[in-house]
Structure 1
Amino acid sequence: MPSSFHAFFRRSAAVLAILVLGACAQLPKDVERPVSTALASSDGTALATLLQERRAADKARFDSGFLLLGGPQAAYGSRLALIENAQKTLDLQYYAIHADASTGRLVRGLQAAAERGVRVRILLDDFHTIGRDALVLGLAFIPNIEMRLFNPLAGSRGTGFNRMLNAIGEVSRIQQRMHNKLFLADNVMGVTGGRNLGDAYFGNATTGNFVDVDVLAAGPIVQDLSRSFDSYWNNERAYPVQSLVSREEFQRIRERARRVDKELDDEAAQARNQPKPPDGEPRPGAAPTAEQRARAWDEKPLDLRSAAFVWAPALMLADAPGKIPADRGPGATRNPDLVVSQPELPSRNAAALADLAASGDTVVEGLLHLIGQAHTDLLIISPYFVPGPDMQQAFAAARARGVRIRVLTNSLASNDAPIAHVGYARHRKALLAAGVELYELRSEQADFGNVFGSSGGSVSGASRAMLHSKVLVMDGRLLVVGSMNLDLRSQLQNTEIALLIRSSELSRMAAEQIERGMRERSWHVELEKGALVWHAPEGSGLQDTGTEPDASATLRFLLRLFGPLAPDQLL
């Protein structure tokens, strides 16, 4: 998503061009997609042995274990640990993989794993594979690594504008993306949640970092995640990279990226050679070189033997690939099937939970049905919060039952896609009037990094914090962590995945951290005499305000001017 309103207008101009011009490129036909599946049995692998030992030592009642990954170090270290410990397979499914310092180390690890005989499969949504980020496509040309792109766009990958011009007439399909996130090792351990792969998701970006949370899962629940991965991997919407990008084209992509990197490094070097200001402070805009950023990234793998797993029953919700129409022309139909894994605990309550979740057509709709069963409390984090009619109805019904609802979302200043804030802002007064409690993340909070732990490991210095976590805690006993936002895009257009974990312990841990983030690091929005008031975070020393805090007057004006033109389902 764009990081400024200016970027939004550039993207809007590209979309406008799509509507005006004619089609220029076509996707390949009769593409070969050799079928492959997850590791049938993980017996004898190091991770399976470790899991058995941990389960026995903890005298676990349940077979699956979970670890919340809130801080950048734990999130990054968990992925390093899975790469280093995998012996048979590594399966990655992501909406975005950015070609930067943190991903560079992961990529080198994946290549080393492939060299020692690990089969690596990488499934990536195609939308962000442009410009420098197209460098990740080089993984497809490494022996023992397969890479496929989901719902790809035809044509050049030089810039987003060029690609949009080649996708004229497919605006609706461009809006439908694979938003799932999975990182699976040997079909026995895996990570899922909100994070993509890139510096901004691991506290390593220079201008802004995402506040995010994942779950490290171990045991039978990972087999359910793998089945979801396989359904996407073997789907007709997944194209092998080689069917879209030749080796020669990739060489041109790499040469272009090298030229751009050299230009940026030359500019940075020139800035560093300028005389220092009299006060001795660094000059603004003297960005570190790529080499400096790479040297600064020195995270360690997570110690899986000492990780404090919580053993609990769980189930997976996943949208089927058919939620996104196949490339069959204008007559293609949508097929929104929801995949619900069987709960580990064969009890009446667990079965009822699975049946209830399965009563929705999508992940978000399944969660709305769960919300319909809340008795006392709903604690929600959704960075892009655009409640459609179904969601508003679910909240109204819950409030009528006396359920307390608290939502943490982005403030205008912390939102990396300001236009998405419009869809939330237009419903804000109605939500407050209905009794929903709203909290908005304060953007200038580089010292805390996330609401689940410290931000240690960041080399970015002072930077903007942007909320990206997707979490729900229900009645203090059910924890949901996934890729979905509570908005119409996640409900109707993107495919999503989520873990539902029935654990009072994990729910308590998550709730305590979320509540601390709301209290100490967020603006509490209230409706007073018909007007919105933002109450400052506890202990911040800031003043309450009646306007969107920390946002410029220009940005507020532009959103008021153009916001009404943007329908909720496109935000």
Structure 2
Amino acid sequence: MTGWLRLCAIAALLLSTTACGTLGAARSDRAAAIALAARDDAVDCSRPDRCAVPSELRGLAGTAFAETAAAGPEGPPRHYALILDEGGDALLARINLIRSATRKIDLQTYIFDKDDSARLVLDELLAAARRGVQVRVLIDQLSAIADLEILAALSGAHRNLELRIYNPTFGEAMPSYFDYAASVICCFRRFNQRMHNKLLVIDDAVGIAGGRNYQDDYFDWDAEYNFRDRDVLVAGPVVREMERNFAEYWIDPRSVPVERLEDVAALLLARGVPPLPGVPALRPERVERISRAAVDPQLVHERLVSRAMPVGQVEYLADLPQKHSEGPDGEGAGASGLAGLLAGAQERILLQTPYLVLSDSALDIFRGLRAREVPPHVVVSTNSLAATDNPIVYALTYKYKRRNVRELGFDIFEYKPFPDDPPVDPALGGAMPGEPVAPQPTPSPARGGSPLPGSSGSLGSGSSGSAANADGQVEDKLRTETRPSLLRTSAPANRPVPVSGEGPRMGLHAKSVVIDGRIGVVGTHNFDPRSETYNTEAVVVIEDPAFARALADSIRRDIAPGNSWTVAPREKPPVLSGLNYSMGKVLEASPVLDLWPWRYATNYEFQPGPECPAPVPRRDPAFHRCYLPVGDFPEVSLGPKSIFTRMLTAFGAGLVPIL
């Protein structure tokens, strides 16, 4: 039997096994009825405002709507926007706004973990439901809460809380690794069609969109690895469009009530609705600190409200779930409208993406820009190998470094794992990169159920990027875009590489663009083939010079010499420079990762001194005098052979569309 026949036989067996396990409509209905009957219908508050906590941050929406009404039907809508760069501020804003809700809360996300920050948010959502607010939560199945007890408990927690899972593979909340293997053979495209959108909408008035999921490493709380991410808070009429887009996903057949998923339903049929597991917080003092901060009006004003700015035109460009039926919209609707914005650039594009992997259409855009008589200047902030959470994807960045630098003319800056000036504030529990991690305190006693507003109970994450389960055992942590390995059953194989430094490190996860100093874009789109073809994505587009300037300043902070290495051509060798260039170009077109040892470009570190008082562009004649080459993979504590072996393990031209 050939290898392909064996794979097909295995797939048929797996699929038949899965089919035999199907509950059927009648049993699914019984499970749903069990969850529905168990839901608490008591409401803690009888006031019309549902006992919402007064919030100046929430009040920005009232101001925006009032100014819009005053401008009249002919005037442009008025909005306020706030860039959320620091993880602590991003979590603080979410908790404050959830407590301010008077009618409804809609939350959409790709990842929802069960660690300290995620459980804090979950507790706040439950508290909001119990005071009478309608709460809807939609999570992509691939990275939904990885605990059947929690999912089953939430299915019957309260009548005001609904949880749905998007695009569940084989109708399960938690597919097995055999299911993953079967999906590669039987339904590869469907399995890879993920809802990558992240959105929080409060009362159709205030929305938060951007790159952050619900996991400690998106809020600077992880002790091993944190994401340098970015959200934007928007208050005003455009939030109604955010809400309408969420509703399209909520009613889509791919969004399945959690109680109707086979593994959750089986638990409900066997045991009924379990209590919400009570697991201690790993760092309870940190959780209490931000919980108190969320109801401190002065602190909320200083950290958040005072930095909000009135802005001009605001759009929410978001894919619809129909993208998974019909493919990308060629007319530019939804997040794919980004292509038109980039193609219309005249002077400058400042692009930040964690994964510099360009699709064919993106290549066409940038080649078209480069071919102009006066091409716009393109600056790219992305990850180094030492900083990225996804070294397999970085292999493509490495492979096409010559093309990106030489042909496309990109000025590329690769983020350091231990940046000198990261957007992290220890005041809200943030872990500073490179600093020793304090010993973890003894966990507080486990609690079941959900706390009252202002308190919290959390499931913990381990000190090395892991999570502690209910039995106190350490589980591996799924990070961002990583996929489970089909060859290992214990952990995702695609994890950050070892580095030479100690203490928590950072990697870029922010996805943002500034175009011509007047248009700012913040969202979930990685500007890569996967975002274009497989994932649904969403971005906020704000046409306002002041906002664009603030966003550009944020990105420029990340590309400063202390935070990023500069990518630039090597100095030409005295002999065979033409051969070296030609070989690199030829091998670049091959379908595998080329191992040509003399790369066209490498990473450089700025060396300040009397002759080099300030950084200079890579095209400046003084560049090689002021910058020291630090190699292709600085601060990675692996030898070249190990690095290339890791890259080659999962590299191939066929992977490009899904990376």
TM-score category (smaller protein): 0.7 to 0.9
1:278-315 per-position Cα deviation (integer Å, ceiling 9, x unaligned): xxxxxxxxxxxx53423322222244654523332111
Give matches, 1:549-560, under 5 Å.
549-551=634-636, 552-553=638-639, 554-560=642-648
Q: Verify the 8 A CA contact 2:149 2:277 in the aligned structure 1.
A: no
Asked if 1:525 corresponds to 2:538, the answer is no
Q: Verify the 8 A CA contact 2:309 2:547 in the aligned structure 1.
A: no
Partner of 1:512: 553
TM-score by length of 1: 0.77
Q: Verify the 8 A CA contact 1:381 1:409 in the aligned structure 2.
A: yes
Q: Verify the 8 A CA contact 2:81 2:232 in the aligned structure 1.
A: yes
Rounded to whole Å, the distance in 2 between the matches of 1:17 and 1:425 is 37
SS at 2:630's partner residue?
coil
Rounded to whole Å, the distance in 2 between the matches of 1:433 and 1:146 is 51
Q: Verify the 8 A CA contact 1:131 1:257 in the aligned structure 2.
A: no
SS at 2:378's partner residue?
strand
Give matches, 1:40-59, under 5 Å.
51-53=61-63
Partner of 2:328: 336
Rounded to whole Å, the distance in 1 between the matches of 2:349 and 2:395 is 24
Rounded to whole Å, the distance in 1 between the matches of 2:607 and 2:224 is 25
Partner of 2:658: 570
SS at 2:370's partner residue?
helix
Deviation at 1:170?
Answer: 2.0
Asked if 1:108 corresponds to 2:123, the answer is yes
Deviation at 1:63?
Answer: 1.6
Distance change (3 Å), C-alpha of 1:243 and 1:88: same
Partner of 2:541: 500
Distance change (3 Å), C-alpha of 1:17 and 1:134: farther
Q: Which stretch has the larger CA shift, 146-155 or 205-214?
A: 146-155
Aligned residue identity for 2:14: G
Partner of 2:199: 182
1:413-454 per-position Cα deviation (integer Å, ceiling 9, x unaligned): 111111111222222211111211111111123x6444xx65
Rounded to whole Å, the distance in 2 between the matches of 1:91 and 1:20 is 39
Aligned residue identity for 1:439: F
Distance change (3 Å), C-alpha of 1:369 and 1:49: closer
Partner of 2:332: 360
SS at 1:416's partner residue?
coil
Partner of 1:317: 317
Partner of 1:231: 248
Partner of 1:378: 349
Aligned residue identity for 1:113: A
SS at 2:635's partner residue?
coil
Aligned residue identity for 2:346: H
Rounded to whole Å, the distance in 2 between the matches of 1:120 and 1:496 is 22
- Picking from 246, 249, 254, the partner of 2:267 is 249
Asked if 1:535 corresponds to 2:604, the answer is yes
Distance change (3 Å), C-alpha of 1:542 and 1:258: farther
Give matches, 1:217-296, under 5 Å.
217-244=234-261, 245-246=263-264, 249=267, 291-296=281-286
Gap regions ≥5 residues in structure 1: 1-14, 34-41, 262-289, 326-333, 339-358
- Picking from 470, 475, 483, the partner of 2:511 is 470
Q: Which stretch has the larger CA shift, 413-422 or 376-385?
A: 413-422
Partner of 1:355: none
Distance change (3 Å), C-alpha of 1:310 and 1:205: same
Asked if 1:64 corresponds to 2:149, the answer is no
Asked if 1:123 corresponds to 2:138, the answer is yes
Rounded to whole Å, the distance in 2 between the matches of 1:432 and 1:17 is 46
Distance change (3 Å), C-alpha of 1:187 and 1:158: closer
Deviation at 1:324?
Answer: 1.5
SS at 2:143's partner residue?
coil
Rounded to whole Å, the distance in 1 between the matches of 2:505 and 2:187 is 34
Aligned residue pairs: how many? 487
Distance change (3 Å), C-alpha of 1:133 and 1:212: farther
Deviation at 1:181?
Answer: 0.5
Q: Which stretch has the larger CA shift, 75-84 or 151-160?
A: 151-160
Gap regions ≥5 residues in structure 2: 1-6, 33-48, 295-299, 432-436, 438-502, 573-580, 582-599, 609-614, 616-625
Partner of 1:546: 631
Aligned residue identity for 1:295: E
Q: Verify the 8 A CA contact 1:86 1:113 in the aligned structure 2.
A: yes
1:168-218 per-position Cα deviation (integer Å, ceiling 9, x unaligned): 622221111000010010000010001011101000011100110001011
Asked if 1:443 corresponds to 2:432, the answer is no
Give matches, 1:82-93, under 5 Å.
82-93=97-108
Rounded to whole Å, the distance in 1 between the matches of 2:104 and 2:275 is 33
SS at 1:412's partner residue?
coil
Distance change (3 Å), C-alpha of 1:544 and 1:457: farther
- Percentage of pairs with the same residue: 29
Q: Verify the 8 A CA contact 1:414 1:443 in the aligned structure 2.
A: yes
Rounded to whole Å, the distance in 2 between the matches of 1:115 and 1:448 is 41
- Picking from 161, 176, 181, the partner of 1:145 is 161
TM-score by length of 2: 0.67
Q: Which stretch has the larger CA shift, 52-61 or 223-232?
A: 52-61
Deviation at 1:140?
Answer: 2.8
Q: Verify the 8 A CA contact 1:372 1:394 in the aligned structure 2.
A: yes
